[in-house]
Amino acid sequence: MSQSSTKLYEFGAFRMDAVERVLWRGEEMIVLPPKVFDTLWMLVKEEGRVVSKSELMEAIWANAFVEESNLSQNIYTLRRALGVDEQGRQFIETVPRRGYRFAVPVRLLDEAPKNGANDSQAIAPSQAAPLPPSAEAEKEIRQRSALRYALFAGLGVLVLSSLFGLGFGVYQFLNRRGENLQVAPIEQVRFKKLTDSGDVTHPTISPDGKLLAYVRLEEKQGSVWIKQIGTGIPFQPLPPSRKGYKSLTFSPDGQYLFFRDADEAGTIYKTPVYGGETRKVAEKVWSDFSVSPYGRRLAFIRRDAARNAYSLILSNIDGGDARELGVRQSPLEYGEGAPGWSPDESKLVVAAGSQQPKLLIVDVLTGEEREAPTARWRNITMALWTPSGKHLIFSARAIKEPTSQLWMLTYPEGPLRRLTNDLEAYFWISLSHDGRKLVTRQQRMISNLWLLPDGEVKKQRQLTFGVRSFDGYQGLAWTPDGRIVFSAKEDDVTELYSMNPDGSNRVQLTANDGPDNAFPSVSSDGRHIVFTSNRTGSSQVWRMDGDGRNQKQLTFGDKQEDVAQYAALSPDGREVFFIRHGSGPAAIWKVSVEGGAPVPVSRLADATTEGFLSISPDGKWLAYHHVSASQKPSEESTRRIGILPTDGSAEPKLFDFPVRRPITQWSADSMAFDYVAGPFNASSLWRQSIAGGKPQKLCDFTDLIFNLAWSRDSKNLVVSQGKQQGDALLISNLP
Query: Is 646 in contact with 666 (CB distance < 8 Å)?
Result: no
Q: In the prediction, which pLDDT does 553 show?
A: 94
pLDDT at site 125:
33
Residue 76's pLDDT band (boundaries 50, 70, 90)? confident
C-alpha 358/C-alpha 361 separation (Å) is 10
Can you spell out the DSSP letters for 457-472? GGG-EE----SS-BTT
Element (DSSP H or E) covering residue 602: none
Separation between Cα atoms, residue 177 and residue 130, nearest integer Å: 33
Which pLDDT does position 90 carry in this prediction? 79
Q: How many residues does the chain have?
A: 735
DSSP 660: S
Q: Tell me, what's the pLDDT at 572?
A: 92
Judge contact between 68 and 76, C-beta under 8 A: no
Indicate the DSSP class of residue 178: G
Q: In whole angstroms, what is the distance from residue 421 CA to residue 405 CA?
A: 7
More confident residue, 265 or 462: 462
pLDDT at 465: 87
Band the pLDDT of 218: cuts 50, 70, 90: confident
Indicate the pLDDT class of residue 208, thresholds 50, 70 and 90. very high
Model confidence at 183: pLDDT above 60? no
pLDDT digits (tens, 9 = 90+) for 555-603: 997 776 789 999 999 999 999 999 998 767 788 999 999 999 999 998 7
Q: What percent of the chain has pLDDT over 70?
A: 85
Burial (Cβ within 10 Å: 0-12, 13-18, ≥19) of residue 26: exposed
Contacts of 122 by beta carbon, 8 Å cutoff, 6+ apart:
8, 109, 110, 112, 128, 129, 131
What pLDDT, on the 0 to 100 scale, is given for residue 637? 64
Per-domain boundaries in the chain: 7-165, 176-183+190-444+727-732, 455-714
Question: CA angle, corner 652, sides to 647 and 658, nearest 5?
Answer: 135
| Angstrom distance (rounded) from CA 567 to CA 57 | 34
**Could you check whether the bond before residue 331 is cis, i.e. omega within 30 degrees of 0?**
yes
Q: What is the pLDDT of residue 634?
A: 61
Range scoring the smallest mean pLDDT among 345-354, 362-371, 460-469: 460-469
Distance CA(268)–CA(633), nearest Å, equals 11
> Beta-carbon neighbour count of residue 481 at 10 Å?
9
723 CB neighbour count, 10 Å cutoff: 13
| Distances, alpha carbon 362 to alpha carbons 347, 379, 725, in Å | 5, 19, 34
pLDDT, tens only, 665-690: 999 999 999 999 987 788 999 999 99
- What is the rounded CA–CA span in Å between residue 641 and residue 633? 17
Question: In angstroms, rounded to a whole number, what is the distance separating the alpha carbons of residues 107 and 94?
Answer: 21
d(CA 455, CA 491): 32
> To the nearest whole percent, how much of the chain has pLDDT over 90?
51
pLDDT score of 163 more than 70:
no
**pLDDT higher for 3 or 449?**
449
442-445: list long-range contacts, CB under 8 Å, 24+ apart: 442/166, 442/167, 442/193, 442/726, 442/727, 442/728, 442/729, 443/724, 443/725, 443/726, 444/468, 444/723, 444/724, 444/725, 444/726, 445/470, 445/722, 445/723, 445/724, 445/725
Check for a shared fold between 176-183+190-444+727-732 and 455-714.
Answer: yes
Give the dihedral sign, CA 673/674/678/684. Answer: positive
Ranking 3-17, 345-359, 534-548 by mean pLDDT, the lowest is: 3-17
Query: Where is pLDDT greater, at 360 or 412?
Result: 360
First to last CA, the chain: 44
Q: What is the C-alpha to C-alpha distance for residues 489 and 518, in angstroms, rounded to an integer?
A: 10
Q: How far is CA 281 from CA 286, 315, 641, 709, in A?
A: 14, 10, 31, 43
Distance CA(552)–CA(520), nearest Å, equals 14
Q: Which CATH number fits domain 7-165: 1.10.10.10, 1.20.1420.30, 2.70.98.70, 3.30.70.20?
A: 1.10.10.10
Q: Say whether pLDDT at 384 is over 50.
A: yes
Q: 219 with 252: CB under 8 angstroms?
A: no
3-state DSSP assignment of residue 212: strand
> What's the rounded Cα separation, in Å, for the pair 140 and 135?
10
Task: Give the pLDDT confidence score for residue 66 in this predicted structure.
Answer: 65
Give the CATH fold of the 455-714 domain. Answer: Neuraminidase (2.120.10)
Res 414 pLDDT > 70 = yes
pTM beyond 0.85: no
What's the pLDDT score for residue 79?
A: 82
Structure confidence at residue 315 (pLDDT): 96
- What residue spans of 335-473 are helical by DSSP H? none
Question: What CA–CA distance (Å, rounded) separates 236 from 466?
Answer: 36
Any idea which of 212-226, 501-515, 537-551, 720-734 has the lowest mean pLDDT?
501-515
CATH architecture for the domain at 176-183+190-444+727-732: 6 Propeller (2.120)
Mean pLDDT along residues 218-238: 88
Contacts of residue 429, defined as CB under 8 A and 6 or more positions apart, other chains included, come to 382, 384, 393, 394, 395, 406, 438, 439, 440
Report CA dihedral (259, 264, 268, 270) to the nearest 10 degrees. Answer: -50
CA distance 138 to 143: 9
Most confident of 62-76, 113-127, 415-429: 415-429
Better-scored residue on pLDDT, 408 or 561: 408
Of the candidates 333, 253, 350, the residue with the CA atom closest to the CA atom of residue 299: 350
Closest CA to 469 of 450, 452, 482, 483: 450
Highest mean pLDDT, choosing among 331-335, 523-527, 557-561: 523-527
593 burial type by CB count under 10 A (0-12 exposed, 13-18 middle, 19+ buried): buried
Phi, psi of 21 (to 5 degrees): 55, 50
46: confidence class by pLDDT, cuts 50, 70, 90? confident
Q: Which of 86-100, 203-217, 472-486 has the lowest mean pLDDT?
A: 86-100
Name the pLDDT band for 178 (thresholds 50, 70, 90): very low
Q: 374 with 391: CB under 8 angstroms?
A: no
Compute the C-alpha angle 254/260/262, nearest 5°.
Answer: 150
Mean pLDDT, residues 655-664 taken together: 87
pLDDT band at 356 (very low <50, low <70, confident <90, very high): confident
Mean pLDDT of 536-563: 88
Mean pLDDT (the chain) is 83
Sign of the dihedral defined by the CA atoms of residues 328, 332, 335, 336, in that order:
positive
pLDDT at 18 over 90: no
pLDDT at 118 over 60: no
Per-residue pLDDT at 132 exceeds 50: no
Outline where DSSP puts E strands in 525-562: 528-533, 540-545, 552-553
- Measure the CA–CA gap between 534 and 319, rounded to whole angstroms: 39
The most distant pair of C-alpha atoms in the chain lies apart, rounded to whole Å, by: 88
Q: Say yes or no to pLDDT of 372 above 60.
A: yes
Beta strands 211-217 and 200-205 are antiparallel
Q: How confident is the model at residue 67 (pLDDT cuts 50, 70, 90)?
A: low
Residue 215, SS3?
strand
